[in-house]
């Protein structure tokens, strides 16, 4: 019954946790365009009502301003739902350096609460979870495939995502529902409110003569435009066979932070900007827990006829244009 999850999404009642956030709101857009019946649950701590306001009057759309830490809210949100897209999380990696409890509560505790509510409801068929490339830590193999081991995250955020994966896998196998886990590279685009590209634009808006770069600028990672992320999620829902499926989502290439900085400066039409590198973390990292190099093996999704339209630099430039358009 899980072979064509995508087809069932078109007619099912779908719940999106964190659906007013960056990726969640774009997913909600796509599902609404497919005439799905969508419920968004979001406490708006990171998301914005503006991201979903065009759907608020649509009879197929329901918005619930609730918190996943509230079990009663989850019971109401799950009522009638068949498929759950679990995107709610605190996605700021640096938070774990000073406030690790936030990642525990907003990532691990909320996931446990959701799974418990799903178990009690008893009629949820599928849960889709957005994990992170940070679960791999600093792998010795790149591009890094889904079956790479051992998984040794170097940040509290990465460990929280890996904990969520373990919980979801255990619950799926114990209670009989389907789980699809996506390990995301750096997803960027319109509506994003954090990350290196967003931060660079904000810094240059405040001072166009200089740009502070966290780390030594050699950090090299994969960046994916939001449209490609949504089509990748779409592709992963097709022809799934195992009870738990794991897919990497990312681009085919990498880009270093210094190149990102120069691309942002160019897209903003600025000249004579001085780059200031804050090399105060071991190995030139931007912060404690910052992975220096990341590139995911996306061949599993490629086997489902998916491929990103944009490379990392194109994604960065498109994102800068979208951010500037919204200022």
User: Which residues are designated catalytic?
Assistant: 157
Residues 6+ apart with CB under 8 A from 161: 89, 107, 131, 132, 134, 135, 153
**Calpha distance 79→169 (Å, rounded):** 23
Q: Please give the span between the terminal C-alpha atoms of the chain, in angstroms, as a whole number.
A: 46
DSSP state of 82: -
- The Cα 259–Cα 312 span in angstroms is 11
- 216 Cβ neighbours under 8 A, 6+ residues apart: 277, 279, 284
Q: Angle 272-275-279 (CA atoms, 0-180°, nearest 5)? A: 170
Is the separation of the CB atoms in 181 and 232 below 8 Å? no
Surface-to-core class of residue 218, CB atoms within 10 Å of its CB (0-12 exposed, 13-18 middle, 19+ buried): middle
């Amino acid at each position: 019954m899980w072979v064509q999850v995508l087809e069932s999404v078109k007619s099912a009642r779908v719940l999106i946790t964190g659906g007013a956030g960056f990726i969640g709101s774009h997913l909600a857009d796509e599902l609404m365009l497919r005439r799905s019946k969508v419920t968004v649950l979001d406490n708006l701590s990171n998301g914005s009502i503006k991201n979903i306001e065009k759907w608020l009057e649509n009879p197929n759309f329901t918005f619930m301003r609730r918190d996943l830490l509230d079990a009663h809210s989850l019971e109401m949100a799950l009522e009638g739902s068949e498929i759950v897209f679990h995107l709610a999380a605190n996605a700021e990696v640096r938070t774990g350096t000073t406030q690790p409890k936030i990642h525990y509560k907003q990532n691990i505790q909320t996931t446990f609460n959701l799974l418990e509510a799903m178990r009690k409801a008893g009629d949820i068929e599928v849960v889709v979870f957005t994990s992170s490339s940070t679960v791999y830590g600093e792998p010795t193999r790149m591009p890094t495939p889904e079956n790479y081991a051992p998984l040794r995250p170097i940040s509290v955020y990465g460990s929280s995502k890996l904990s969520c994966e373990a919980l979801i896998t255990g619950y799926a196998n114990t209670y009989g529902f389907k789980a699809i886990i996506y390990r995301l590279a750096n997803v960027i685009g319109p509506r994003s409110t954090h990350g290196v590209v967003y931060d660079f634009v904000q810094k240059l808006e405040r001072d166009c003569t200089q740009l502070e770069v966290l780390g030594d600028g050699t950090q090299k990672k994969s960046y994916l435009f939001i449209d490609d992320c949504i089509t990748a999620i779409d592709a992963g829902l097709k022809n799934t066979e195992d009870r738990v499926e794991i897919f990497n989502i990312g681009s085919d290439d990498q880009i270093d932070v210094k190149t990102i900085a120069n691309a942002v400066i160019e897209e903003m039409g600025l000249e004579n900007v001085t780059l200031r590198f804050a090399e105060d973390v071991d190995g030139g990292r931007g912060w404690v827990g910052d992975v220096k190099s990341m590139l995911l093996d996306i061949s599993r999704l490629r086997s489902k006829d998916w491929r990103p339209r944009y490379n990392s630099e194109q994604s960065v430039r498109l994102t800068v244009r979208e951010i500037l358009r919204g200022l």
